[in-house]
Structure formats: structure tokens, C-alpha cells
Structure 1
Amino acid sequence: MLEIQNLTKRYKKTLAVDQVSFVVPDGQVGILLGPNGAGKSTIIKSIAGLLRYEGGIGIQGMQAKSLEAKKIFGYVPEIPAMFDALTVREHVEYIRRAYSASITDEEVAALFERYELDDKLDKLGNELSKGMMQKVSICCALAIKPKVILFDEPMVGLDPKAIKELKETILELRDSGTTVLVSTHMLEMVKDLWDVMFVMDKGKIIASLTKEEAADRDIEELFFGITEREGD
């Protein structure tokens, strides 16, 4: 479970996030939506431990800042960062050792094959395209077998085959009981994935909705209906 409690973040005099609270239960996919400047990136970076903030963030009942929580938390950033001098293979091996991950060699090989990296294992980080870097970032996050995983605009830069695989991966994570949060503006890409939706604007959650509450309504219809109503 991922639990956000009264999260507040200021950049000097600017209030970027204003007492935001929401929960994504185990075995569900939460979607964080909102226009540019709504505060999504600030929330994502706060959850990932990249920003100082006021309020609380819980991962499986533990404080997000604790070492125990970090061991079961996976993060795929919007802009992947690679080590220039490490190969694709070495990136995942580095994560395996850093987290003392239980993933087997066979499971790692299957990840590389699934994301079409098996013929690029010896390429260095500075030799990879944006899409390839994104795939490596996804594999690194999955290698720790997270209980909670956060994806920030994960489909930007991916080819259609990789997008298909990532969607299937997210559903498999959900079905295995993992908590998933996806921050995105690509509504079409997540329309079949979400269980609970959180819509942000001007630093606040302006609406939250479960798939059951949405019934058969399309995610774009829901999102634009909420944001246009809020604008009025």
C-alpha cells in the first residue's frame, strides 16, 4: 500500500502541493493525472525521496524514508539516468547487489529478452537511446521485485512493442498484489490499466474516482469533465 498524508511542498514562496492525501491499496493501479504545473512531478519526487516535504508518505505501513521501505520500493523516473561507464548488464547487476535482490539469473535474462535488450547487454549507458535507457530503467526497477512501484510518464519514448510489454507488466504486478502508481498525461495509454484515479490541479487533488464508480465512462471523458468543471 502507498499512503500519502497531508503532503505539502513549498518552493520558497510558491506552494506547489497543498496538503494532498490519497491511498493506493495493495494490488491496485493508481493513476495520477493533471495538467502541466498541477503538482504531479513534485508528488512523484517526494515519494521517490528526491525532495524534502511536509506531511507523511507510507510504503507498506513504513515511513518512505526508512531503509526497510526503500528496499521494497521501485521507481521509474520520467527522465532515466544511466551511468556512462556501466553496460546495460552492469546496471541491473548493480541494482541486484545494492538491494540484495532475490531475482535469479534466469529471471534477469527473461527481463532483458522481454524488453528486447538481450542483444544490447554490453552497450554502455552513454551509447543508449532515450527509449533504450527507459527500458533499462524499467528492468532495474523490476529487478528488486518491488511491493510498491512508481512510474513517472513511463511510456514516453518507448516503441509500440515496449509499450505493450509495459502495460502487460503493470497488470501482472497488480495481479501479484503489488501497489502501482503511474503519473502520466497520456490518457489513452492507461485507459485499460487503472483501478483508482487521482486528478490534480493547482497543487490539490480535485477528484478521486475508482473504476467501479466510473462504470463504463471513458477515462478521457472523465478527466476532461472534471478539469473543465473545475475551471468553470
Structure 2
Amino acid sequence: MGDIPTEVLTAIKAAAKNSWSDDRQMQDYYIESECDSYLAVVEMDFGDALPFRDQMIARAAEFSDLWEDRATYVRDEVDGYAELQNHPADVPGEVLDELKRKAIAEHYDFSSQGDALREGIRHFRYVRDTRAKIAPIRDLLVRMENIIGEECYNDNIQNYSSWGVWEGEGRSFRYPVTVLRGGKAEKRKFRFDDLLAEELVTGHYKFGANELSIYRALIKIVDMLESDYGLKVPRS
């Protein structure tokens, strides 16, 4: 423990005695753990984040009195800063710059900014890949769903004419598709051409508390027919 400043070691021992006054074994464990964590912080490789070393350590001190927690916080900060320096080859520069700007504007520490950037990149790739996959077969998917949606029948519906004469039981109907658009659920029966690919793929049938992801299922069926049966689907 010669590498640990006297004031730091004294504070660690005092905290150990205060937390485990009747347990010498736990005091020793606490002291060893805290000393190891202190050394982990001061000996940490900050890499490109070195200019922010003092800032990170100061924030860690605000975060917790425990060196174990501080070490975890600083490591997460270093990793978060490194994440912000990444430049994935498949993400356009202007997209990456906007994702970074948004992450920095909305989050205080580097770890949260890094997490936000990572999630932004994941979402960009999801949207890009979804659009690339769905665009060539979009019309096919919509037509297949329409066929399925039109085949709904309820024999409990009581039918009456406009003049009140009962015309029998049962009626066919078009089952509505629920899509997620702008974070909100919308029911659709006929128009889908205004939906983005990533919105269309959320289309599902709601059955009480249950859902059937009809568009995702149809995509899997097309994939299965192509891979297992050699179906050739025209792709524009």
C-alpha cells in the first residue's frame, strides 16, 4: 500500500472501521478492495480521453464515496469517450455527426453519450437494412396482407337492413392492421403507401391482449419460399 497517499489510506481505513466495526475480516476485505480500486483509477489508461482525466475523476467523486464505484464510473467514462471517437465505415459522415451532436446535447457524461450514439447507429442500420429489404417486395407484402385481412368472418354478427329487417347471422369483414407511426399506434385497412418501410414492418393484428406480427411473418414466408423452394420474386 506504499503507492497510496497517506490521506487516502487513512480515509479508507476509517470508512472500513465505521462500516464493519465488529468484523475485522470484513474491514480487511474492504480496505483491500478500496485500495485496489484507487490504484485502478490512478493507473488507468485514459487513451484519447487523457485531457479529461481530472474532470472524470472529479465527477466520480461526486458520484460516490467508494473507490470501487469511482473506478467503475471512470472506466465507463473512458469507454464512452472512446465510443464517441469511432467512425464506422458503413455510417455516412453527416449521419454520424448528427448522431454525435444529438447525443452530446441530450446527455451529460461520456458514458451516456456513448450509449446514445451506439443506439443511434443501431437504429440507423436497422432502418437502412429494413428499407433495403422491404422496398423491392413492398407491393407483394401489401397484397398478401390484404388477402389475409379480407378473409375474416364473424358468425355472431347480427345483420339488419337499413329498414330494420333481420337478414341473418354472420358477416365477412376486413381485419384492421395496427401500425406504429411516430411512436403512436394507428389502425389501417386500405392505405399503406404513405408508410415508411420501418413503419410498415410493424403492422400487426391485435387480438385482445395478443398480437400477430403479420408483416414480419409475411417477410419470413417470402424468405422461406425463396430459400427452400427456389421462388423467384421480381425485385425492382
Q: Normalising by structure 2, report the TM-score.
A: 0.25
The structure with the largest strand share of the pair is 1
Q: Normalising by structure 1, report the TM-score.
A: 0.26
Between structure 1 and structure 2, the one with the greater Rg is 2
The structure with the largest helix share of the pair is 2
